[in-house]
Structure 1
Amino acid sequence: MSLNGKVAIVTGSGRGLGLAYAQELARQGASVVINDVDAQTAADAVATIEADGGKAVAVVAPVGSTETAKQLVQTAVDSFGGLDILVTNAGVLRDTVLWKMSDEDFDLVINVHLRGTFTCVREAATYMRENGVAGRIITIGSPTGQRGNFGQTNYGAAKAGIVGMVRTWALELKKAGITANAVIPVAATAMTATVPYFAAAVEADAKGEPMPEFFRKEIGFGNASDVSGLIAFLASDEAAAITGQAIGVGGDRLQVWSHPEPAVTEYRDGGWTFDALVEQSALLTGNVQSVGEKFPALPAELQPAQA
């Protein structure tokens, strides 16, 4: 097992993708701190890991505050003697279009996803640096943060911000031997279960059946176990040279997302005045970049049933 003797924290790991990450880390030999806001859910998650021969404890607390971040790290140290791996998975959704999104909807999602990632990574990185641990920081992004998605202003902002922080942390933590990466998962979750496009895949997964090949290959859409292998790999010594990356995974597909680069560069003596931009507007209108994800049409046999 590649993670023997390692200690990991996985936020938001009581169920779903977070639980799958925690279970895989434990399967590879790591002792795991489970985190959830519900005590019974957290206890059940611990029980599944222990039943499989692993070691786990739970911290029941909402992610976002410095206090929760400190509690998570201290629990790892007190229970297992240290901390080597942090996976920041905790999140919530409050989807609605811009003109209907309340301050509360925006603040909650930003607090859990973005601030929660920041506070937990700050606490973990501080411990790792002070104790000479060449640790692994693994954050969770989203295609929405990379491309945008209708009705997800708050979520898109948080996920894009996480990837931005990862690039910065890769620079700041390099000397300490600590890596920081973002995983961009595409998998059956409570969110995708409500999207008609994914209905055939979600239904197959719920029945314990293989997902149609179209989803696994064309869309790169799978289940939680298809993502957890990458989490464990990035947590291992084998990934010591990988940092500052956004890596997509789902179904049978693995992707390394590029960092933003200029699509076109032009220079003009005297700078770009309004009149100059009007005169040469084709430089902008002819290089407009796409937004949102573009999915291929579903094959007829995978079309959702009409009500």
Structure 2
Amino acid sequence: MDLTGKVAIVTGSGQGLGLAYAKELARGGAAVVVNDVRQETADTAVAEIVAEGGKAVAVVAPVGSTETARALVQAAVDNFGRLDILVTNAGILRDKVLWKMTDEDFDAVVNVHLRGTFTCAREAVNRFREQGEGGRIICIGSPAGQRGNFGQTNYSGAKAGIVGMVRTWAMELKKAGITANAVCPVAVTAMTETVPIFKPFIDEAKETGILPDVIRREVGMGTPEDVAGVIAFLASDAAADITGQAISIGGDRLALWSHPEMTETAYHDGGFSADEIAAVWPGTFANNLESVGEEFPAEVLAVTK
């Protein structure tokens, strides 16, 4: 994808998925504002991009506040003259079951993922509208936000909220030529290494350098580099008509998440009382309830038992 002359911000891009996104955008010709909370990590990421012939600068600050969002946009404008692409990738985990999750656990995750996405998108859109040439908002969601995940009330809630915001922004920003999409990646990172169902396969891959086909294809999990292509695609002119979507990518699999739809309906003149719902439920709804959590192939489940 030719991104020559474009300028991108990638939050949380000092390492892992964010660094893979930043490098891919730079390879396409975009100048990149790298963001991380650690100066050394950010500087190393910038050095790697520059060593490959790209252009990059660093902004060291935690995502969440309006001040950080404004600093990121200002860095893009001051160093490269404009802004065309925002990738909101920054994230943290504070996993605990509901009854053990503290206010601090909840607020920390929601502040970075949900509020950070909102503040950065708002500042980027203000710049896009000022330039009058459109723009790209690419927000990083998660399968956990689509289906839920044990121990991740804060994370799942924030990621579901991100997809909801993207759908709203797609409507609000259409006239300005600004697209908004969510990407739900699955990749081997420091965050996924802690997930019990993935650990045996990741440990094996560290020894062999290979993830089995069932993981790459059926689960759709691979390397951060496997995800980066969809970021560059959505940032490019080729994706000018794609907006409001939630796209899954990982390993050898690319997929599109559906928007929620009503799957079963019933009608009753004058509305439903509790007793009338109880009467209609078994025949109309009981056999069509949705599952929760991700569903994995039997081959994967067998390894983790």
The answer to whether the 8 Å contact 1:188/1:202 transfers is yes
Q: Given the superposition, is the C-alpha separation of residues 16 and 208 from structure 1 closer, same or farther in structure 2, using an over 3 Å criterion? A: farther
Amino acid at match of 1:286: N
Q: Given the superposition, is the C-alpha separation of residues 162 and 6 from structure 1 closer, same or farther in structure 2, using an over 3 Å criterion? A: same
1:281 Cα shift?
2.1
Tell me the equivalent position of 1:275.
Answer: 275
Matches within 5 A, 1:167-206: 167-206=167-206
Tell me the equivalent position of 1:293.
Answer: 294
| Aligned-partner Cα distance in 2 for 1:197–1:34 | 32
Q: Deviations over 1:78-126 (max 9, x none)?
A: 0001000000000110000000000000000000000000000000001
Amino acid at match of 2:149: N
Identity of aligned residues (%): 67
Q: Deviations over 1:159-192 (max 9, x none)?
A: 0000000000000000000000000001101122
Tell me the equivalent position of 2:118.
Answer: 118
Please say which of residues 162-171 and 182-191 is displaced more in the overlay.
182-191
Matches within 5 A, 1:158-173: 158-173=158-173
Matches within 5 A, 1:44-83: 44-83=44-83
Amino acid at match of 2:167: R
Tell me the equivalent position of 1:12.
Answer: 12
Confirm or deny that 1:107 pairs with 2:107.
yes
Tell me the equivalent position of 1:284.
Answer: 285
Q: Deviations over 1:129-177 (max 9, x none)?
A: 1111210000000000000001000000100000000000000000000
Amino acid at match of 1:218: E
Amino acid at match of 2:266: E
Q: Given the superposition, is the C-alpha separation of residues 63 and 216 from structure 1 closer, same or farther in structure 2, using an over 3 Å criterion? A: same
TM-score, scaled to structure 2? 0.96
Confirm or deny that 1:24 pairs with 2:24.
yes
Q: Given the superposition, is the C-alpha separation of residues 287 and 72 from structure 1 closer, same or farther in structure 2, using an over 3 Å criterion? A: same
Q: Deviations over 1:222-251 (max 9, x none)?
A: 010110000000000000010000000001
The answer to whether the 8 Å contact 2:140/2:183 transfers is yes
Amino acid at match of 1:3: L
1:205 Cα shift?
4.4
Q: Given the superposition, is the C-alpha separation of residues 153 and 184 from structure 1 closer, same or farther in structure 2, using an over 3 Å criterion? A: same
The answer to whether the 8 Å contact 2:7/2:82 transfers is yes
Confirm or deny that 1:128 pairs with 2:128.
yes
| Aligned-partner Cα distance in 2 for 1:62–1:191 | 18
Amino acid at match of 2:150: F
Q: Deviations over 1:248-296 (max 9, x none)?
A: 0001101100000001111111111112112212133232111101111
| Aligned-partner Cα distance in 1 for 2:194–2:91 | 17
Say which SS state the counterpart of residue 299 (structure 2) adopts: coil
| Aligned-partner Cα distance in 2 for 1:199–1:153 | 21
TM-score, scaled to structure 1? 0.96
| Aligned-partner Cα distance in 2 for 1:299–1:86 | 35
Please say which of residues 261-270 and 145-154 is displaced more in the overlay.
261-270
Amino acid at match of 1:5: G
1:207 Cα shift?
4.9
Tell me the equivalent position of 1:254.
Answer: 254
The answer to whether the 8 Å contact 1:205/1:223 transfers is no
1:200 Cα shift?
4.3
Amino acid at match of 2:82: G
Say which SS state the counterpart of residue 243 (structure 2) adopts: coil
Number of residue equivalences: 304
Say which SS state the counterpart of residue 133 (structure 1) adopts: coil
1:299 Cα shift?
6.2
The answer to whether the 8 Å contact 2:188/2:202 transfers is yes
Please say which of residues 41-50 and 208-217 is displaced more in the overlay.
208-217
Say which SS state the counterpart of residue 298 (structure 2) adopts: coil
1:208 Cα shift?
7.0
Q: What are the ranges of 5 or more consecutive residues in structure 2 without an aligned counterpart?
A: none
Say which SS state the counterpart of residue 8 (structure 1) adopts: strand
1:206 Cα shift?
3.4
